[in-house]
Chain A
């Protein structure tokens, strides 16, 4: 089906996407929780910032990342001097770009599932002796869990498809930052590589469709469960 070179492109994409969503997960959940449950000053601004990558041209997001994480950028300089690491032109940079682009989708999906939790269950847990924290771990989090999974899957699919911010931020380096979309784009520039384009494109379609169906199924399952329990 795919050549070894194409498989390595797929493997890199899966690595970049996987690291991106897993590393973003705690932050995305905390943001979703704060936005769903609390009213605080700056909430609207925070909501806007989280959603910004959804509407900003990806090339602008990539450029902003370049400014922040570049050798002279505030974060990049700090990473370099304290840890001696740089995400520039590295697969970690591609994962960072993918994470930023996936964040809004993940926060949205988790926020919906958090808002769908019947808070009266938490009250019931408190009267049974659970602290706020214990009620969170034993009641709220398990009830939100299918939504969190759906957000992971959706964020993963988005990460795998990331193009604009990635190519702007970490360029298009074979074996390091050349993920599926970048590889397809590169192959399109080479005469006679149509077969490779087709194979990689079909693989992308299958991957994305599978992820969408899986996340839809997870969300639907939660709703069905809620309905069966009444109000």
Chain B
């Protein structure tokens, strides 16, 4: 289980992308914080800024007592301890499921890891997929593996970018149950991006409405 689950998220960022200005300012506590809003308001860009893949023009990003960005700090993505579950899973196509799962696990400092491969496989029900190639997985299976890969790297917070959008109704229910268990059993703080009201109603501890 993650060490400190009462972690506060404090975000205040601004970024100009072409004509558009993406700005967001909020604080969030533990549980699942849904960033809710229509397509195109920059929800994905916001997650990318938190992960360190996109540099804000100004502002700060703090998780618990750690400053990831701001006050002359700009940690590279690999030092942020943030798990990112992408919309498309984004599993490495040239590595089997096992090697995908262990990619971040092996890079993490032993003291930062809080879950092992067997535990993750059992938690997500993916033990039978370990020797498969990503291209042979269904959408739901791939998303479970993507979640496992992020958890195994020992993150302090999980970012999820519309993780259900490429799935059919039945699979959505499955993955939502997994997300609830991450929220309630692992008590890992989650920043969750969605434009689907029903998803947000079911999963969110707190909702931040974003508009353009």
Interface residues of A (CB under 8 A from B): 120-121, 123-132, 134, 138-139, 142-143, 225, 228-231
Contact = CB atoms under 8 A, between A and B. Distances in A.
Given A123-B53, A124-B84, A129 B107 contact: yes
Interface in B71-86: 76-78, 80, 82-84, 86
A174 B48 CA distance: 62
Interface stretch (B30-38, B88-96, B170-178): B88-96
Q: What 9 pairs between A and B have smallest CB-CB spacing?
A: A128-B104, A129-B107, A126-B77, A127-B84, A124-B90, A229-B93, A129-B78, A123-B53, A128-B153
B103 interface: yes
Contact of B92 (A121, A228, A230): A121
Nearest to A134: B107
Interface residues of B, number: 26
Nearest to A230: B88
A45 to B, nearest CB: 29
A128 B135 contact: no
B132 to A, nearest CB: 14
Contact of B150 (A121, A128, A231): A128
B163 interface: no
B76 A126 contact: yes
Nearest to A124: B90
A225 B134 CA distance: 11
Chain A at the B interface: SS class = helix
8 contacts: A123-B53, A127-B77, A128-B153, A129-B107, A130-B107, A142-B94, A225-B135, A231-B88
Contacts of A142: 94
A143 B94 contact: yes
Contacts, number: 65
B52 interface: yes
B135 A228 contact: yes
Given A121-B92, A230-B88, A127 B107 contact: no
A36 B125 CA distance: 41
Contacts of A225: 93, 135
B51 interface: yes
Given A120-B86, A230-B88, A126 B93 contact: no
Nearest to B102: A128
A142 B103 CA distance: 14
A69 to B, nearest CB: 41
B108 interface: yes
Contacts of B98: none
B108 A129 contact: yes
A130 B78 contact: yes
Contacts of A127: 51-53, 77-78, 80, 82-84, 104, 150, 153
B149 interface: yes
B46 to A, nearest CB: 15
Contact of B90 (A120, A131, A138): A120
A229 B137 CA distance: 10
A129 B94 contact: no
Interface in B100-126: 103-104, 107-108
Contacts of A130: 78, 103-104, 107
Contacts of A120: 86, 90
Nearest to B106: A129
Contacts of B80: 127
Contact of B78 (A131, A138, A230, A231): A131
Given A120-B90, A230-B88, A231-B88, A126 B78 contact: yes
Contacts of B150: 127-128
